[in-house]
Chain A
Amino acid sequence: MLTALLIMAAIALVLGAALGFASIRFKVVGDPLVEKIDAILPQTQCGQCGYPGCKPYAQAIANGEADINQCPPGGEEGIRKLADLLGREFKPLSEEFGVEKPKAVARIDEQTCIGCTLCIQACPVDAIVGAAKQMHTVVEPLCTGCELCVAPCPVDCITMEPVAETVETWKWKYPVIEIRKRA
């Protein structure tokens, strides 16, 4: 009886020491989960999820504070990837945070722009160039389409324009096969 107890205690000790050692030896610096979630998020930095950027949202998901279906620009595919990563059930995008839209970029009507710099300050990814009282313009390839610049513009000269397909961005379509003709 006593031997058994001693053996059990010894095993517990050894395992505990091993676990403790492992937790120190293999300690992961930083939070890879947040990085992994952040890598899936589209980096629009639009704040539609209710957090001030993609990283904070990633942090919130990792902490269990936010759900995975709050990112409209990431869309269904983004939610699927998050669900895969976190081993959760897929759920449709929550309407509360917005709807999935085709990718668009901001365009400043240069005739109307008064050079107030408000949009420059609002742009989370520094995609608008210009100076006070100088015309501003959007650097199109850098624009994430977050729409944060639209509201602050005092003269409403910013519009969101869908990105047109070019030869560079054109994609072959999934082959459509008429095999599932229902009998």
Chain B
Amino acid sequence: MTKRLHRFKGGVDLDYHKAESAGVPIRSAPLPPRLIVPLRQNARSVAHGIVTAGEHVLKGQRIGEAEGVLGTAVHAPTSGTVIEVTEHPMAHPSGLDTHCVVIEPDGDERWVALEPLDHRSIDRQSALNRLREAGVVGLGGAAFPSHVKLGSGTGVDTVVINGAECEPWITCDDRLMRERADQILAGAAILSDLIGAKRVLVGIEDNKPEAIAAMRAAAAAQAAPIEIVAIPTVYPAGGEKQLIRVLTGIEIPHGRLGTDFGVQCFNVGTAAAVHRAFALGEPLVSRIVTLAGNVERPGNYEVLIGTPVASLLELAEPRADTDRYILGGPMMGFALPDLSVPVIKGTNCVLSASPTLFPRSKPPLPCIRCGECARACPAELQPFELYWFAHSRNFGKAQEYHLFDCIECGCCSYVCPSHIPLVDYYRYAKSEIWARERETRAADGARERFEFRNFRQEREKAEKAAKLAAKAAETKAKLAQTETAPAPAPTEAAPQSEDDAKRALIAAALERAKQQKAAAKPKNTEDLSAATLAEIAEIEARRKALGLSEGDAGDVRPALPTLPGPTTAATPPAPPGGDPEPLAREDRP
């Protein structure tokens, strides 16, 4: 209880508005008429769909198989019928489509056979596999697969459980801690076992005294060494790196994992989901979502993954002047381009925004380099410098000034007296840099393949020439042996006869091709209507009139390099995989 806390630099004090939605217990959201379950649960991986339209699924039945390193399984959130597997907008700032399984609930909520499992009874890898198969991902927002975060299971001595919940308005973790502290702590103990940690630290911002009390009460009943730590309320104390810094003093740089530094962080919701995956055998099919902002009835709901945001909003009754809906909190969330998008595992809050609650920002003024942003930046960056570079599209310089250490917490934009949308510039610069890196990689690959192809063609040409030379020498020797005396000029006859032989070969090949063509029947000539048959007959007649016959059709095409004309026969013929370059270039206008 007397833990020495560390501090991270920067951060801002906000108006938290937590009381509005934190007072009401978690309720279950009613079943929507349709559930749209995206097979893509985060930006990095898509599950492989294994159900088809018309199939009946049970609650918790696997509908998407985990694919790739960062993949996790996707499950049917309720029992019902798969209506279709289709493209549907996803909860992403782009509003782009992704593969979704649309399920019509049958209302029974019938579970598949669940198999509870004690993680201590199986080996570590199987336990990680269970998490992957149960679709457990980080519920804090990024939806990063938990089994990947558990890493190799060595070198980590501290598990940090993130109950800070620093974004204003959001109270889903708060309610979860108040009501299901046991589940969270049980999950934390499992995570701690799996990662081989010696202690568990739960960080909770001190503006949630009820949650701290509930967690402490639950921790007192636990045998495991779990410490509940109240941390000062400063946004963004709930950022993973910031929380780890506050609790342990360890700073994790960009691009490194906590496991490298002996500490790993999980959200409280994730811990609860881990507990359910083992103790109940339940895959992750629902989560708690805060509905708040400009609404009549704010509160927290247990929501099935795939519930469309629009049907969820009805529960909270947004007020008439609501003009936007924000997924996530006001600092890091994004305005929903489309209300039909479904709730996904990373969805923690749907905020109704009104012009009075979230005023449209004033037109930006020039940066006066006042340094407010640098004082607020929890990553200790110089945001105005980054802004300057991103603004002028000087991406190299932006990277040099550690653009990618920016966690996009929004503190700099929040404090900027010039109202510059700083974070927007960083997002823009980051995605431009990523796009450029993709392009460079693609170009490098293309260059490599192009160069290899040229090399291969050269090699083939050389091999062919060598082979021909050898053959010519052989023929020459043979001719010299058989027709010793009477041949007047054997040196000249050799290539002649070679040409003839080749011509005969080509003629035979042509003949074969023609026969095959005649034998091959187009596939689409069966079961035709009378009208179509008549049309075909008419076309055939016209073709006849023009002097084209069925078999000739192929000859209209440009000559294949495998059938060189007689004029090219004197030069070594192109190899079968021959050099298309001259052909390609001639074809260009």
Q: A118 contacts B580, CB within 8 Å?
A: yes
A126 to B450, CA, bound (A): 7
Q: B588 contacts A177, CB within 8 Å?
A: no
**Which residues from 441 to 466 on chain B have a C-beta closer than 8 Å to any C-beta of chain A?**
442-447, 449-454
**Which residues from 424 to 445 on chain B have a C-beta closer than 8 Å to any C-beta of chain A?**
424-425, 427-428, 430-432, 434-435, 438-439, 442-445
- With A42-B443, A118-B560, A121-B577 in contact, is A174–B428 under 8 Å at CB? yes
Q: Which residues of B contact A165 (CB under 8 A)?
A: 94, 96
**Interface segment out of the listed A6-14, A19-27, A148-156:** A148-156
A148 to B578, CA, bound (A): 16
Q: B424 contacts A175, CB within 8 Å?
A: yes
User: How many inter-chain contacts with C-beta < 8 Å in the A-B complex?
Assistant: 108
Q: Which residues of B contact A47 (CB under 8 A)?
A: 584-585, 588
- With A45-B446, A125-B449, A173-B428 in contact, is A167–B580 under 8 Å at CB? no
Nearest A-chain residue to B439, judged by Cβ: A42
State whether the Cβ of A86 lies closer than 8 Å to any Cβ in chain B. Answer: no
Q: A52 contacts B432, CB within 8 Å?
A: no
Query: Contacting A167 at CB < 8 Å: which of B40, B444, B445, B583?
Result: B40
- With A121-B580, A151-B588, A177-B363 in contact, is A53–B450 under 8 Å at CB? yes
Q: Which residues of B contact A121 (CB under 8 A)?
A: 561, 577-580, 583
Q: A152 contacts B580, CB within 8 Å?
A: yes
Nearest A-chain residue to B579, judged by Cβ: A121
Nearest A-chain residue to B438, judged by Cβ: A169
Over the window 379-422 of chain B, the binary record of Cβ atoms lying under 8 Å from chain A Cβ atoms (1 yes, 0 no) is 00000000000000000000000000000000000000000010
Closest Cβ of chain B to A51, distance in Å, is 10
A107 to B241, CA, bound (A): 45
State whether the Cβ of B243 lies closer than 8 Å to any Cβ in chain A. Answer: no
Q: Which residues of B contact A124 (CB under 8 A)?
A: 450, 453
A174 to B390, CA, bound (A): 9
State whether the Cβ of A95 lies closer than 8 Å to any Cβ in chain B. Answer: no
Q: B427 contacts A167, CB within 8 Å?
A: no
Q: Which residues of B contact A127 (CB under 8 A)?
A: 449
Query: Contacting A152 at CB < 8 Å: which of B421, B451, B558, B579?
Result: B558
A170 to B92, CA, bound (A): 10
Q: Which residues of B contact A29 (CB under 8 A)?
A: none
- With A52-B581, A167-B43 in contact, is A152–B363 under 8 Å at CB? no
- With A52-B581, A121-B561, A121-B577 in contact, is A171–B432 under 8 Å at CB? yes
Q: A177 contacts B432, CB within 8 Å?
A: no
Q: Which residues of A contact B96 (CB under 8 A)?
A: 165-167, 170
State whether the Cβ of B248 lies closer than 8 Å to any Cβ in chain A. Answer: no
State whether the Cβ of A122 lies closer than 8 Å to any Cβ in chain B. Answer: yes
Q: Which residues of A contact B585 (CB under 8 A)?
A: 47, 52
State whether the Cβ of A54 lies closer than 8 Å to any Cβ in chain B. Answer: yes
**Which residues from 48 to 93 on chain A have a C-beta closer than 8 Å to any C-beta of chain B?**
52-55
A172 to B422, CA, bound (A): 13
Q: B561 contacts A167, CB within 8 Å?
A: no
* Residues of B within 8 A of A (CB-CB), count: 49
- With A167-B40, A167-B98 in contact, is A175–B92 under 8 Å at CB? no
Q: Which residues of A contact B584 (CB under 8 A)?
A: 47, 122, 148, 151-152
Q: Which residues of A contact B561 (CB under 8 A)?
A: 121
Nearest B-chain residue to A41, judged by Cβ: B443
State whether the Cβ of B557 lies closer than 8 Å to any Cβ in chain A. Answer: yes
Q: A169 contacts B578, CB within 8 Å?
A: no
Q: A43 contacts B40, CB within 8 Å?
A: no
State whether the Cβ of B495 lies closer than 8 Å to any Cβ in chain A. Answer: no
A141 to B445, CA, bound (A): 10
State whether the Cβ of A168 lies closer than 8 Å to any Cβ in chain B. Answer: yes
A117 to B428, CA, bound (A): 43
Q: B445 contacts A142, CB within 8 Å?
A: yes
Q: A179 contacts B364, CB within 8 Å?
A: yes
A44 to B446, CA, bound (A): 7
Q: B428 contacts A172, CB within 8 Å?
A: yes
Query: Contacting B435 at CB < 8 Å: which of A52, A116, A169, A175?
Result: A169
Q: Which residues of B contact A38 (CB under 8 A)?
A: 447
State whether the Cβ of A178 lies closer than 8 Å to any Cβ in chain B. Answer: yes
- With A122-B580, A167-B40, A172-B424 in contact, is A152–B450 under 8 Å at CB? no
Nearest B-chain residue to A171, judged by Cβ: B431
**Which residues from 541 to 583 on chain B have a C-beta closer than 8 Å to any C-beta of chain A?**
557-558, 560-561, 577-581, 583
A152 to B40, CA, bound (A): 39
**Which residues from 360 to 390 on chain B have a C-beta closer than 8 Å to any C-beta of chain A?**
363-365
State whether the Cβ of B15 lies closer than 8 Å to any Cβ in chain A. Answer: no
Q: A175 contacts B443, CB within 8 Å?
A: no
Q: B364 contacts A177, CB within 8 Å?
A: yes
State whether the Cβ of B13 lies closer than 8 Å to any Cβ in chain A. Answer: no
What are the 5 A-B residue pairs with the smallest beta carbon separation, nearest first?
A121-B580, A154-B557, A43-B443, A43-B446, A172-B427
List 9 A–B pairs whose Cβ atoms lie within 8 Å, in order of A's numbering.
Answer: A47-B588, A151-B588, A152-B558, A152-B584, A152-B587, A167-B40, A169-B438, A177-B421, A179-B365
